[in-house]
């Protein structure tokens, strides 16, 4: 049973970089039929797609976050990562990593999520 | 990319049916058959309920069904049960090769 687990600091200072990693267990991140993505949810608010990455390194990003976001993949360690630069309080959210089928556009498997708070 | 529009709340009695709408544009919902729906209980990760407009993943109850007409997709929950009380989000592929979520709908079972 494939599982995803987010990890990283729960507190980040304003103007600094938020960094999270998603570890994939029970299956290979190098699957040719899947993309891997990040979605976030501010407290009490809705879901926001951040971006997705293929094992080859191909990426797709939200147009509103593209200038501040980098998603990378480490196939040797079966994990992928998210970096958000120049964070503000508006970036405070639960961050989820998830799996997407490459031939379509839905997320069929999600991590449990991790809360990141931006505060000094 | 603006969020897809959903009603803030929908309610129904046990055993009844409810329908949640998800309105976008021709550049997202109306342009592609890549609409999905997610159920989220408080404090939990979202769960995929419907994909590609009307397909149900294995293990999801047949009481959940999806459809689309023009720029509006819909999720219908029939035979409403207490455990269906949750937040529901739609999502769509967009012309910009991105994903957009709906504003979310809180379902209350009376």
Q: Which residues of chain A have pLDDT under 50?
A: none
Which residues lie closer than 8 Å to A73 by C-beta, 6 or more apart? A29, A36, A53, A54, A55, A57, A79, A80, A81
Whether residues A105 and B38 touch (CB distance < 8 A) is answered with: no
Q: What's the Cα-to-Cα distance from A59 to each of A63, B28, B72, B86, rounded to whole Å?
A: 12, 19, 28, 32
pLDDT of B1 over the 80 cut: no
Q: What is the pLDDT of residue A75?
A: 95
The DSSP symbol for A114 reads: E
Nearest to A63 among B3, B96, B104 (CB): B96
B7 pLDDT band (50/70/90 cuts)? very high
Answer for the pair B5, B103: CB distance below 8 angstroms, yes or no: yes
The DSSP symbol for B3 reads: P
Strand ranges for A1-120 from DSSP E: 3-7, 11-12, 18-25, 34-41, 48-53, 59-61, 69-74, 79-84, 93-101, 107-110, 114-118
pLDDT of B84 over the 90 cut: yes
Segment B10-35 shows an average pLDDT of 97
Segment B17-40 shows an average pLDDT of 98
Q: Mean pLDDT of all residues in chain B? A: 97
Looking at CA atoms only, how far is residue B33 from chain A in angstroms? 9
The closest alpha carbon to A36, from A3, A85, A84, belongs to A3
Residues of B in contact with A62 (CB under 8 A): 1, 98
Token pair listed for B8: 């803030």
Percent of chain B's residues with pLDDT above 70: 100
Q: What is the pLDDT of residue A102?
A: 87
Answer for the pair A84, A57: CB distance below 8 angstroms, yes or no: no
Q: Are strands A11-12 and A114-118 parallel, antiparallel or unpaired?
A: parallel
């Amino acid at each position: 049973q494939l599982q995803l687990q987010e990890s990283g600091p729960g507190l980040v200072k304003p103007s600094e970089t938020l960094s999270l990693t998603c570890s994939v267990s029970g299956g290979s991140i190098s699957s040719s039929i899947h993309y891997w993505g990040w979605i976030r949810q501010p407290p009490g608010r809705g879901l926001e797609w951040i971006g997705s990455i293929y094992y080859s390194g191909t990426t797709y990003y939200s147009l509103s976050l593209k200038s501040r976001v980098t998603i990378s993949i480490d196939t040797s360690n079966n994990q992928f990562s998210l970096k958000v630069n120049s964070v503000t309080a508006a970036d405070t959210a639960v961050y989820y990593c998830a799996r997407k089928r490459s031939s379509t556009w839905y997320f069929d498997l999600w991590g449990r999520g991790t809360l990141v708070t931006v505060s000094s | 990319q603006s969020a897809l529009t959903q009603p803030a709340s929908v309610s129904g009695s046990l055993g009844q049916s409810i329908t949640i709408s998800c309105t976008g544009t021709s550049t997202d919902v109306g342009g592609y058959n890549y609409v999905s729906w997610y159920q989220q209980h408080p404090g939990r990760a979202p769960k995929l309920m419907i994909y590609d407009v009307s397909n149900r993943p294995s293990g999801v109850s047949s009481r959940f069904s999806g459809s689309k007409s023009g720029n509006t997709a819909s999720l219908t929950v029939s035979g409403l049960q207490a455990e269906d009380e949750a937040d529901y989000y739609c999502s769509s592929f967009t012309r910009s090769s991105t994903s957009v979520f709906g504003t979310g709908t809180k379902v209350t079972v009376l």
